[in-house]
Amino acid sequence: MLQLATSFGVLLAFVSFAAAQSAVWGQCGGIGWTGATTCVSGSVCTYQNDYYSQCLPSTASATSVGTSTTSGTTSTVATTSTSSAPASTANIGLNVAAKAAGKLYLGSATDNPELTDTAYVAILSDSTEFGQITPGNSMKWDATEPSQGTFSFAGGDTVVNLAKANGQLVRGHNCVWHNQLPSWVSSGNFNATALASIVETHCSTIVSHWKGQMYSWDVINEPFNDDGTWRTDVFYNTLNTTYVSIALKAARAADPAAKLYINDYNIEGSGAKATAMLNLVKQLQADGVPIDGVGFQGHFIVGALPSTIQANLEAFTALGIEVAITELDIRMTLPATDALLAQQKKDYQTVISACKAVTGCIGVTIWDYTDKYSWVPSTFSGQGAACPWDANLLRKPAYDGIVAGFQS
Ligand code: G3I
């Protein structure tokens, strides 16, 4: 009996000791941190910045994904495919660096399924790294109004509440887009009057739902083809260009404080598509339609950035609107090599420097901070490694490129 009690006591002591330690990937230090400052066996408390130290697996340079059991502690060790690459050495926090450079935020996209990944959420929630979040899918039309008049806000609410808890801004994404559009809209054969009302109701309803909680909205997403002609989706085909002003006016009425953006890709450098966007903004302004900003998505390829990013951003801010890099990632053909990662670091620095140099470029959002959840590999076969954190949630040289861009 005594022996049983002693064993139980030892077990209790072990449990309470274990509970006093942070889990792998958990926080273990930093200014304001009052939790555990030691890590469970198999991980090491590692300084990331003054505000955040993290328990990183001692085996983080292994070469496969697996589960390790050390001293009774089981942890999944996601490993890196870039173990020989130079690691990030900067220790400031991307959002801290952005703010020091006079920007409003450095942010990340996220998506609801990822929010069960506690290690991922710990980094996303660190406001020294990210001052802004964009929901990658949960505010899109197929998520918010899957059938006419039936609205669903749960996924978006989850992201907004997370951002609120972390003191982070939210960019709403998006009201009107040809993609992820339910077939009741795209194939409904509505006439112009009916579709105008549908656009107005959709934008008004989703923007109203999050009234007062959003920094900005991508009211219109990707209206142009790469040659600068209008994308012939159901909105353009039925309403010509009027859907743009219908949506912008509805959004303004629904939340007067939210900045209203049009967002697109391949407009980061000058060219036909950027010119089309400039002309659209000028026309909207001439017509008295509310427009506050243009979002430059920034889905780039390593070593192939446009050479005119800064001048192009300035052409837009000269119209009196703000601009933001809204979906930045810089992909490469896999496998990632040290040379590609070094070029990627330079490319991130170049993009950030361009935004830094333009007063009206208010912030930069990465289209999810980690390769673990990047959209790239499933869309571009054989490509990936586009983000500043690798699939192991370890910082890549690109992280240092971002810091250097803000500090240049
Ligand atoms: O929701 C379904 C799920 O029910 C199903 O089981 C699963 C099977 O594949 O698919 C799920 O839908 C996926 C959706 O993301 C939600 O996860 C789609 O297949 C997938 O295509 C979709 O990809 C999104 C993509 O937009 C769609 O175009 C990406 O996550 C999202 O990051 C990406 O974001 C866009 C921006 O909105 C606009 N700019 C370009 C950017 C990258 O494509």
* pLDDT confidence of residue 30: 64
- Rounded Cα–Cα distance for residues 405 and 347 (Å): 10
**Model confidence over 73-92: pLDDT tens digits?**
223 323 334 445 567 888 89
Please tell me the pTM assigned to this model: 0.83
**Model confidence over 106-115: pLDDT tens digits?**
999 999 999 9
Chain-wide mean pLDDT for the chain? 88
How far, in Å, is the centroid of ligand 1 from the Cα of 137? 7
How far, in Å, is the centroid of ligand 1 from the Cα of 270? 28
* pLDDT confidence of residue 74: 27
- Rounded Cα–Cα distance for residues 386 and 398 (Å): 9
Would you say the CB of residue 134 lies under 6 angstroms from ligand 1?
A: no
CB 56 within 8 A of CB 28: no
Using only C-alpha atoms, what is the Rg of the chain?
A: 23
User: Which residue in 129, 145, 200, 222 is the catalytic one?
Assistant: 222
Instruction: Quickly count: other Cβ atoms within 10 Å of residue 333's Cβ.
Output: 14
Beta strands in 52-176 (DSSP E): 52-57, 66-70, 73-77, 105-110, 132-135, 169-176
Q: Is 327 a catalytic residue?
A: yes
Pocket residue to mutate for ligand 1, from 173, 176, 180, 331, most atoms within 8 A of Cβ: 180
Q: Is 222 a catalytic residue?
A: yes
Which regions in the chain score pLDDT beneath 70? 1-19, 23-28, 30-34, 47-86
* pLDDT confidence of residue 40: 75
Ligand 1 atom showing the smallest separation from residue 297 Cα: 39
Would you say the CB of residue 147 lies under 6 angstroms from ligand 1?
A: no
Pocket residue to mutate for ligand 1, from 220, 375, 379, most atoms within 8 A of Cβ: 375
**Model confidence over 160-198: pLDDT tens digits?**
999 999 999 999 999 999 999 999 999 999 999 999 999
Residue nearest to ligand 1 atom 14, measured at CA: 137
What phi, psi does 333 have (nearest 5°)? -75, 130
How far, in Å, is the centroid of ligand 1 from the Cα of 149? 23
> Of the candidates 87, 58, 104, which has an alpha carbon nearest to the alpha carbon of residue 356?
104
Task: List all residues 6 or more positions away from 120 whose beta carbon is below 8 Å from its beta carbon.
Answer: 114, 370, 372, 373, 393
109 dihedral zone (left: phi>0; alpha: psi -120 to 50; beta): beta
**DSSP helix/strand/coil, 169:** strand
